[in-house]
């Protein structure tokens, strides 16, 4: 057991290391990425540029710069941004992590419940209008770009109907920490939760329905049916469990990526300062220290989620355990 | 300066250049027992009635270091006015009056001595930093040294004329400015010695790069730690990802209403992180009092109608232009460049920016209202003083004559809504006159340095320039002078790479003439403007106006020509 | 999606009624089967919903292919040329395409809204004065092409990786799963931004494929690769359990080579998953393409794709929401049709479905 854990952890480190090297190389291969002129200020003289370059160690060879950056990121934890000078990256990442976590966890609860309900209902009433209707709604959800939906939500809730009773409870955009103002925290996040969950609800509902329909054709389900068990019981207790594998796989991938900052456009649209927004700004500004920190943070969660999902396989499907 | 990190802009008045000689005396606050003028009484009454409250400002993001000696963006220079002081400063008044230089930490604007190479400033007594210490001449000297020690962007451009600056530029760490900035503790004076007379000195001393900080301020970039200042307000906290908070300076006593007036709000909160659409909505809902960014074009309609009482539009001396690389094909051919200048429909561009209420077409380099500006537009259907319509036939003909027809051209623009739409339009125009054109948007932070570096072989781009102060040299010499062209560097503000020896010599001649004969220099600049415009190293597009959208509760909106809205002189209750 | 292994296709079940020709009685010697493909095709043919969906898909593709005809003959417009001072005829008089506001402070510059007239600006104009409907049709070509090819690439690689990893296990699986981890964790947007800047100056040549800044291969490859882990992992999971089923173990015991088992026994059982993913991937790919346009990667202006039109529409959201809405609706219709069609295909290919239809 310990051996597997150690094994897994070393794999994770390997992946994260690989990605960090790749990011570093990509950055320096990009023309216009040299931050010295942007750090030095507009119309700086050539001497100022040279001084800044030396100051930031930008004139050292790449491997040296990489090692120094990693050291400042992990060991001394005083790595600072190229754009907002003096701003420590590691505390910033830790500071904004709860925002993303709040957004993603709430949305995940919504979409899992929603997706499961949609999938179960659609599979149970296969071929009926309810089934068709749910699938159509689900697919509409999948086809809407999340930033578009977010802007439309803002247009409706903050601008057009802000004064009407429907949306007057919607607070101004921005995040309120849970510890300071739980009510405000909840209210600020409701619309972003729904926006983020809409896409995944449709996806998961669709996938679950397909799995359930497949499972419904199994021999052992026919056996259960002929034994006289009710359809509902069959659906929920027997078919559902084995249909979960694909859904769980997808959930692991999605949740891991989202916690790591994949919800960047949602965060930008709703003014939530999370990891996603940090990543987005860093990308636009080619701010290497912040990019490094967010990429490593994100890859950690992705790899972790995948590891957890792999462990769950054995739990969900006994046949895999036999291996 | 480019918009997103721009510094100053404003209406220039010809007299302002000579203002250092005949500057209006600053209004001193009345000593107890004196009789106040009606105006002073009115101001005092307003101050009591509306004082207090928390003002909320929003912006999309922070803009770099909080260090006043380094930061070179309009966003920060706007609030530095209430936080820091220099020996002299720009008057905190509305309109063109805001361009007057008034004494700040110095008691008065000194008369020039030694043929204009020496100025003796007497320091006011009793002014304290916000940590309680007194301001002394030692702090003044240390601050000037610090400009070089932290490698301020303007150390080599604005302050290179101080005696001893050359040594400082070579070896910043040991900068003493020996002989350049001399303090006399007993007399309480600071003497500045220049290597040559400089008519623009007082402007240079008024910008935040020359504010006075305590002598023990660290001589490296402060980053996110605010420097201690003397202003009416102090920066209590600064998180570039979230918010900046300004509160009243507990040790502040108003010494000059013109230079550093006491403000109305008790607290100013400056939040970062909303998109521009969200900012507009926040101000509309009263959740914020003002937004830094310009509103997106699809909200302009409702702002101009439903919210027109909360919108202020002010002219700027700035321009949007399209530099063309004069050293590589196809724009190394002057006819090709002129063709582009003829073909552009500036009215369409003005509309893309938001309509004629927000911008005006231009053909030449110097903006209207500038010293030396004489209306001149050769690149239009009926050449004369003003632009009327594009001349596509002439443009196509010029392209044919130049022999560059059919060549590939890439236009590099910022990835913001307006720049992108201008870029797409330009691509369409270039195609119309015979080029194989494409447009490439880049993130704004990257685009500005990308287009300056000749290694990237950028043929054409779209950029903006806002003045630092009202001198023709700030446009013509900085943007098109040979000295601003540094091949292979990210900092080469002469983006077009234009270097004409004859014109350059004339520019240097005009700079020298300005010391003694400003009017004569202005005439020279007019000629230079004509010559540079004819050579068309860049296609002039339009001059923008500035929109400020404020909340219902905000009162007493004052727009200063130099730093735009004077934040703390408005009230929230 | 777990199901017990399907028996290999070439075994016919003589107790089940054949094709569409029902004999009505079980047990009577049936005619020779038409073969699984013909059976499937006939089943599909009779599935009305699926046929309707196929019709819709073909209609969409046809409309997009005919974009030049629409732009040239019907609407008389050049959808790639800025038309800021253009005018068109409405009710006999010439009306400007872009209107400057005259009320209040006179701020704002708005394109006209939908005229619902095919001859001119059916859906209105965008912020450069171009006909949205024409751009929508042209954009469909790019979107369908990009999303389609990316889906094919994604499914291809995902199947290969999923099959190999799930079946062979051991070091192969280890390497492939690590590869999937790296792919999913990789900051694709950074790579895309970097590549797009690199490509401004010069293109990249990989053998016969030449990639320049405006090449569609850049977004295709990026989008295709991004979702490989998303499909590969579920497939791998399925294969893992299939691996333990009796008939596979039996085949191994019989000495059937691995690749043969993969192709003949395991692959057919994962096709359902693949079929379900096709429309979902098309939707996700079109959305990813839209997100890439957000960062100005992929389809370059003035070319259009549904993603870039949505992008342009963002800047007009408060005044002309239809510009952002129309391509979204187009995506929904296409994805919906593909989904229904996919369901029909899945049902048609599944021999058990017939059984159920009878017994239900």
Q: Give the best residue of A36, A40, A41 to mutate against chain B (max B CB count within 10 A).
A: A41
Report the pLDDT averaged over residues B521-526.
Answer: 93
pLDDT higher than threshold 70 for residue C356: no
Distance from CA of C2 to the nearest CA of A (A): 6
Distance from CA of C324 to the nearest CA of A (A): 8
Q: Which of B242, B415, B450 sits opposite A32 (nearest CB)?
A: B450
Which candidate, B507, A130, A149, B538, places its Cα nearest to that of C310?
A149
Instruction: Provide φ and ψ at C157, rounded to 5°.
Output: -65, -40
Which candidate, B311, B357, B285, places its Cα nearest to that of B545?
B357
ipTM of the complex: 0.85
pLDDT band at residue B313 under the 50/70/90 scheme:
very high
pLDDT band at residue B30 under the 50/70/90 scheme:
very low
State the virtual CA torsion across B470, B472, B475, B478 in degrees, nearest 10. -110
pLDDT at C42: 83
Report the pLDDT averaged over residues A108-133.
Answer: 89
pLDDT at B41: 76
Interchain pair B274, A271: CB under 8 A: yes
Average pLDDT score over chain B = 88
Q: Is the dihedral of CA A248, A250, A251, A256 positive or negative?
A: positive
pLDDT at C207: 62
Least confident of A253-257, B307-311, B419-423, C24-28: C24-28
Which candidate, B364, B305, B355, places its Cα nearest to that of B531?
B364
pLDDT at A318: 63
Give percent above pLDDT 70 in chain B.
Answer: 94
Q: Tell me how far apart the alpha carbons of residues A15 and C169 are, in angstroms, rounded to a whole number.
A: 19
Least confident of B123-137, B553-567, C192-206, C240-254: C192-206
pLDDT higher than threshold 70 for residue B5: no
pLDDT at A322: 46
Interchain pair B456, A158: CB under 8 A: no
pLDDT higher than threshold 90 for residue A218: no
Q: Which of B5, B151, B278 sits opposite A52 (nearest CB)?
A: B151
pLDDT at C198: 79
Q: Which residues pair with B437 in a beta bridge?
A: B409
Higher pLDDT, residue C178 or B83: B83
Touching C (3+ Cβ pairs <8 A), the chains are A, B
pLDDT at C170: 85
pLDDT band at residue A136 under the 50/70/90 scheme:
confident
Q: Tell me how far apart the alpha carbons of residues B272 and B171 are, in angstroms, rounded to a whole number.
A: 37
pLDDT band at residue B47 under the 50/70/90 scheme:
confident
Angle at CA of residue B227, ends B224 and B228, nearest 5°: 145
Least confident of B249-253, B318-322, C165-169: C165-169
Q: Tell me how far apart the alpha carbons of residues B298 and A177 are, in angstroms, rounded to a whole number.
A: 33
Chain C partners of A140 at a C-beta cutoff of 8 Å? 332, 336
Least confident of A70-74, A255-259, A313-317, C268-272: A313-317
Interchain pair C284, A215: CB under 8 A: no
Structure confidence by residue, pLDDT tens digits, A27-68 = 888 887 888 888 877 777 787 788 888 878 888 888 999 999
Touching B (3+ Cβ pairs <8 A), the chains are A, C
Structure confidence by residue, pLDDT tens digits, C288-341 = 888 887 777 778 888 899 988 988 888 898 889 899 889 988 988 898 888 888
Structure confidence by residue, pLDDT tens digits, A73-116 = 998 888 988 888 889 999 999 999 999 999 999 999 999 999 99
pLDDT at B10: 32
Report the pLDDT averaged over residues A272-286.
Answer: 90
pLDDT band at residue C9 under the 50/70/90 scheme:
very low
Prior bond of C302 cis (ω within 30°): yes
Which candidate, B222, B490, B326, A253, places its Cα nearest to that of C228?
A253
Interchain pair C82, B412: CB under 8 A: no
pLDDT at C31: 66
**Minimum Cα–Cα distance from C334: chain A residue:** A143
Report the pLDDT averaged over residues A182-195.
Answer: 92
pLDDT at C248: 81
Report the pLDDT averaged over residues C157-164.
Answer: 92
Q: Tell me how far apart the alpha carbons of residues C298 and C319 are, in angstroms, rounded to a whole number.
A: 27
Helices A2-29 and A288-316 sit at what angle, rounded to 10 degrees? 150
Chain C partners of B345 at a C-beta cutoff of 8 Å? 84-85
Interchain pair B351, C301: CB under 8 A: no
Distance from CA of C133 to the nearest CA of A (A): 19
Beta carbons of B278 and A158 less than 8 angstroms apart: yes
Report the pLDDT averaged over residues C223-230.
Answer: 90
Report the pLDDT averaged over residues B213-231.
Answer: 92
State if pTM tops 0.80: yes
pLDDT higher than threshold 60 for residue C12: no
Report the pLDDT averaged over residues A243-256.
Answer: 87
Average pLDDT score over chain A = 85
Higher pLDDT, residue C198 or B499: B499
Contacts of A233 (CB under 8 A, 6+ apart): none
Chain C residues contacting B via beta carbons under 8 Å: 80-82, 84-85, 98, 100-101, 103-110, 127-128, 193, 196-197, 200-201, 213-214, 295-296, 300-302, 315-320
**Minimum Cα–Cα distance from B3: chain A residue:** A42
Interchain pair B429, C85: CB under 8 A: no
pLDDT higher than threshold 90 for residue B430: yes
Report the pLDDT averaged over residues C106-113.
Answer: 87
Chain C partners of B442 at a C-beta cutoff of 8 Å? 197, 296
Structure confidence by residue, pLDDT tens digits, B240-260 = 989 999 999 999 999 998 999
Q: Which residues pair with C110 in a beta bridge?
A: C99
Q: Tell me how far apart the alpha carbons of residues B55 and B553 are, in angstroms, rounded to a whole number.
A: 10
Q: Which of B1, B224, B490 sits opposite A87 (nearest CB)?
A: B224
pLDDT band at residue A176 under the 50/70/90 scheme:
confident
Report the pLDDT averaged over residues C88-98.
Answer: 84
For chain C, the first-to-last Cα distance in angstroms comes to 22
pLDDT band at residue C257 under the 50/70/90 scheme:
confident
pLDDT higher than threshold 70 for residue C205: no
pLDDT at B89: 94
Distance from CA of C220 to the nearest CA of B (A): 19
Chain C partners of B355 at a C-beta cutoff of 8 Å? 100-101, 106-109
Q: Which residues pair with C111 in a beta bridge?
A: C98
Chain B partners of A37 at a C-beta cutoff of 8 Å? 449, 452, 489-491
A-C interface: how many C-beta pairs under 8 angstroms?
181
Q: Give the best residue of B275, B299, B309, B348 to mutate against chain C (max C CB count within 10 A).
A: B348
Using the Cβ of A156 and the Cβ atoms of chain B, whether some distance falls under 8 Å is answered with no
Q: Which residues pair with B314 in a beta bridge?
A: B546
Which candidate, C124, C129, C140, places its Cα nearest to that of C78?
C129
Report the pLDDT averaged over residues C193-219.
Answer: 73
Least confident of A125-134, B561-570, C193-202, C317-326: C193-202
Beta carbons of B423 and C301 less than 8 angstroms apart: yes
- Which tokens go with B250? 């507990």
Higher pLDDT, residue C356 or B208: B208
Chain A partners of B446 at a C-beta cutoff of 8 Å? 32-33, 38, 284-286
pLDDT at C96: 87
Chain B partners of C291 at a C-beta cutoff of 8 Å? none
pLDDT higher than threshold 50 for residue B11: no
pLDDT band at residue C206 under the 50/70/90 scheme:
low
pLDDT higher than threshold 70 for residue C159: yes
Interchain pair C237, A207: CB under 8 A: no
């Amino acid at each position: 057991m310990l051996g597997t854990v150690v094994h897994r952890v070393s794999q994770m480190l390997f992946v994260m290391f690989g990605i960090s090297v790749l990011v570093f190389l990509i950055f320096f291969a990009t023309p216009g990425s040299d931050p010295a002129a942007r750090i030095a200020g507009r119309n700086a003289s050539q001497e100022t540029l040279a001084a800044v370059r030396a100051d930031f160690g930008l004139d050292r060879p790449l491997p040296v710069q990489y090692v120094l950056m990693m050291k400042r990121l992990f060991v001394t934890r005083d790595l600072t941004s190229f754009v907002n000078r003096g701003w420590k990256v590691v505390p910033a990442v830790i500071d904004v992590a709860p925002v993303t976590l709040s957004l993603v966890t709430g949305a995940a609860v919504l979409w899992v419940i929603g997706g499961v309900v949609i999938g179960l209902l659609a599979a149970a009433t296969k071929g009926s209008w309810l089934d068709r209707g749910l699938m159509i709604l689900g697919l509409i959800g999948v086809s809407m770009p999340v930033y578009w939906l977010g802007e439309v939500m803002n247009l409706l809730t903050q601008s057009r109907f802000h004064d009407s009773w429907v949306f007057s409870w919607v607070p101004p955009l921005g995040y309120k920490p849970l510890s300071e103002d739980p009510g405000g925290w909840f209210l600020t996040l409701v619309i972003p939760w729904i926006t983020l969950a809409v896409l995944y609800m449709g996806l998961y509902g669709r996938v679950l329905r397909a799995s359930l329909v497949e499972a419904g054709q199994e021999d052992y389900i026919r056996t259960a049916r002929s034994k006289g068990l009710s359809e509902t019981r069959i659906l929920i207790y027997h078919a559902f469990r084995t249909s979960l594998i694909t859904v769980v796989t997808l959930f692991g991938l999605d949740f891991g990526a989202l916690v790591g900052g994949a919800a960047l456009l949602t965060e930008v649209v709703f003014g939530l300062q999370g990891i996603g927004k940090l990543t987005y700004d860093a990308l636009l500004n080619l701010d290497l220290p912040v990019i490094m920190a967010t990429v490593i943070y994100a890859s950690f969660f992705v790899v972790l989620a995948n590891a957890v999902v792999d462990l769950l396989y054995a739990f969900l499907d006994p046949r895999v355990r036999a291996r | 300066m480019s918009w997103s990190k721009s510094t100053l802009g404003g209406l220039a008045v010809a007299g302002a250049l000579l203002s250092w000689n005949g500057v209006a005396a600053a209004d001193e606050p009345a000593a107890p027992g004196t009789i106040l003028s009606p105006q002073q009484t009115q101001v005092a009454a307003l101050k009591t009635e509306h004082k207090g409250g928390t003002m909320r400002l929003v912006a999309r993001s922070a803009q770099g270091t909080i260090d006043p000696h380094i930061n070179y963006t309009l966003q920060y220079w706007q609030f530095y006015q209430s936080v820091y002081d220099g020996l002299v400063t720009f008057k905190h008044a509305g309109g063109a009056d805001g361009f007057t230089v008034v004494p700040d930490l110095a008691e008065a604007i000194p008369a020039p001595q030694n043929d204009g190479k020496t100025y003796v400033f007497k320091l006011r007594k009793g002014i304290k930093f916000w940590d309680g210490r007194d301001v002394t001449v030692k702090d003044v000297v240390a601050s000037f040294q610090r400009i070089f020690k932290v490698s301020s962007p303007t150390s080599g451009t604005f302050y290179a004329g101080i005696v001893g600056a050359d040594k400082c530029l070579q070896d910043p760490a040991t900068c003493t400015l020996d002989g350049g900035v001399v303090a006399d503790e007993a007399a309480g004076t600071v003497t500045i010695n220049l290597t040559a007379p400089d008519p623009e000195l007082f402007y240079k001393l008024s910008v935040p790069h020359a504010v006075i900080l305590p002598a023990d301020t660290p001589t490296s970039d402060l980053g996110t730690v605010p420097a201690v200042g003397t202003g009416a307000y102090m920066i209590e906290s600064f998180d570039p990802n979230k918010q900046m908070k300004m509160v009243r300076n507990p040790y502040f006593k108003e010494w000059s209403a013109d230079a550093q007036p006491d403000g109305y709000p008790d607290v100013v909160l400056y939040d970062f992180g909303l998109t521009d659409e969200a900012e507009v909505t926040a101000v509309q809902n009263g959740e914020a009092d003002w937004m830094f960014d310009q509103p997106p074009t699809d909200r302009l309609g409702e702002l101009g109608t439903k919210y027109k009482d909360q919108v202020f539009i002010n002219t700027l001396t700035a321009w949007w232009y399209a530099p063309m690389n004069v050293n590589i094909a196809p724009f190394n051919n002057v006819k090709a460049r002129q063709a582009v200048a003829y073909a552009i429909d500036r009215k369409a561009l003005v509309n893309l920016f938001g309509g004629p209420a927000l911008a005006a077409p231009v053909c030449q380099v110097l903006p209207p209202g500038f010293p030396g500006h004489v209306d001149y537009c050769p690149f239009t259907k009926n050449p004369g003083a003003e632009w009327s319509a594009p001349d596509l036939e002439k443009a196509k003909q010029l392209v044919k004559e130049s022999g560059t027809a059919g060549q590939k051209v890439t236009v590099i623009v910022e990835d913001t809504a307006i720049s992108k739409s201008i870029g797409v339009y330009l691509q369409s125009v270039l195609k119309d006159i015979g080029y194989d054109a494409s447009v490439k948007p880049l993130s704004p932070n990257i685009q500005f340095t990308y287009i300056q570096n000749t290694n990237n072989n950028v043929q054409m781009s779209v950029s903006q320039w806002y003045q630092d102060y009202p001198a023709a040299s700030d446009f013509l010499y900085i943007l098109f002078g040979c000295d601003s062209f540094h091949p292979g560097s990210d900092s080469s503000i002469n983006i077009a790479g234009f270097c004409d020896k004859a014109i350059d010599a004339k520019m240097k001649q005009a700079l020298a003439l300005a010391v003694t004969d400003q009017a004569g220099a202005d005439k020279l600049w007019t000629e230079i403007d004509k010559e540079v415009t004819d050579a068309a190293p860049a296609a002039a597009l339009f001059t923008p106006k500035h929109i400020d959208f404020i909340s219902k509760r905000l009162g007493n909106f004052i727009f200063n020509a130099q730093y735009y809205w004077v934040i703390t002189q408005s009230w929230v209750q | 999606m777990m199901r017990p292994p399907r028996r290999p296709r070439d075994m016919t079940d003589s107790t089940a009624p054949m094709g569409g020709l029902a004999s009505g009685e079980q047990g009577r010697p049936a005619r020779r089967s038409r073969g699984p493909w013909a059976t499937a095709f006939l089943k599909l043919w009779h599935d009305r919903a699926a046929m309707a969906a196929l019709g819709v898909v073909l209609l969409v593709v046809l409309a997009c292919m005919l974009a030049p005809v629409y732009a040239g003959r019907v609407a008389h417009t050049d959808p790639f040329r800025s038309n800021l001072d253009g005018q068109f005829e409405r009710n006999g008089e010439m009306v400007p395409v872009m209107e400057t506001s005259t009320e209040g402070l006179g701020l704002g510059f708005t394109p006209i809204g939908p005229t619902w007239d095919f001859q001119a600006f059916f859906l209105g104009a965008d912020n450069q004065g171009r006909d949205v409907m024409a751009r929508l049709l042209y954009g469909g070509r790019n979107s369908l092409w990009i999303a389609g090819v990316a889906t094919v690439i994604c499914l291809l690689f995902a199947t290969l990786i999923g099959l190999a990893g799930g079946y062979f296990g051991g070091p192969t699986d280890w390497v492939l799963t690590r590869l999937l981890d790296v792919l999913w964790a990789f900051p694709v947007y950074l790579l895309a931004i970097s590549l797009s800047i690199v490509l401004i100056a010069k293109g990249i040549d990989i053998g016969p494929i030449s990639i320049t800044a405006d090449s569609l291969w850049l977004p295709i490859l990026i989008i295709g690769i991004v979702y490989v882990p998303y499909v590969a992992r579920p497939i791998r999971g399925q294969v893992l359990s299939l691996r333990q089923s009796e008939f596979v173990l039996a085949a191994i015991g019989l000495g059937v080579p691995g690749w043969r088992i993969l192709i003949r026994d395991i692959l057919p059982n994962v096709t359902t998953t693949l079929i379900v993913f096709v429309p979902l991937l098309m939707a996700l790919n079109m959305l990813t393409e839209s997100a890439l346009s957000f960062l100005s990667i992929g389809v370059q202006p003035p070319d259009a794709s549904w993603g870039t039109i949505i992008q342009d529409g963002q800047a007009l959201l408060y005044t002309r929401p239809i510009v952002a809405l129309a391509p979204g609706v187009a995506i929904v219709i296409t994805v919906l049709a593909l989904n229904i069609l996919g369901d029909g295909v899945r049902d048609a290919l599944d021999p058990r479905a017939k059984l159920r239809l009878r017994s239900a």
